[in-house]
Amino acid sequence: MNKVIDKLKEIDTGEIGLILFSCKEQRYDTALNSELSVPLAPAAKVAIGFCVAKWVDENTYNWEDLVNEISFNPEEGSKELYPHLQNRKSLPLREAIEVMISCHDSYVANCVVNYCGGWEKLNNSLQSYFPTINITENSRDIENRGQLNQILEIMIQIFQGYKTKPLLWIPIINGLVR
């Protein structure tokens, strides 16, 4: 692997970023351009889930709170993965987070964010942890981005959080696994 990293360093790596993290040893093995700002696309849904889990942990919201006027994006996979939810008009927050992450469902994401106070509130809270991450309603928006190292840090915190508080992080983990 070091030979690959050395070769990448030899070329112009302005658009290449790489971080290797050992889950077993809980440390970074190597990094190249870890501060590279990259589009989030569907990964933004995990960042939304992270932020909502933090709010649940602070008792601002509860996983059993109902997100009303729920809608599913017909272009995403929720029909196949969650056919039993398709005619529902509300979902518990935990289920909405799971569906949003597993299906990359932008409509559900919008419902969750609106329930929790809007995109500005979400970004303000998220940026208190990860200053370079910005999430927009449109996942293809050029402003929907974050640094590679901070995106990885969200995943590490979710992974580590699940080991100590599984009930807090289970909606995100279920969405990732599904």
For 7-38, the pLDDT digits (tens) are 555 555 557 777 677 778 777 777 666 777 78
Tell whether 100 and 153 lie within a shared domain: yes
Tell whether 110 and 141 lie within a shared domain: yes
Highest mean pLDDT among 27-31, 74-78, 128-132: 128-132
CB distance 82 to 99 below 8 Å: yes
How many structural domains is the chain composed of? 2
Tell whether 73 and 24 lie within a shared domain: no
Tell whether 120 and 168 lie within a shared domain: yes
Tell whether 94 and 50 lie within a shared domain: yes
Domain that holds residue 113: 38-177
pTM: 0.86
**Model pLDDT, residue 6:** 60
d(CA 73, CA 85): 12
Helix axes 93-103, 166-177, angle to 10 degrees: 30
Burial of 128 (0-12, 13-18, 19+ CB in 10 A): exposed
pLDDT value at 51 more than 90:
yes
Tell whether 48 and 64 lie within a shared domain: yes
Residues 6+ apart with CB under 8 A from 46: 101, 154, 155, 158, 172, 175, 176
Tell whether 42 and 27 lie within a shared domain: no
Tell whether 30 and 68 lie within a shared domain: no
Residues 6+ apart with CB under 8 A from 128: none
What are 28's strand-pairing partners? 21
Amino acid in position 54:
K
Pair of tokens at residue 49: 């889930």
Mean per-residue pLDDT over the chain, rounded? 88
Tell whether 21 and 93 lie within a shared domain: no
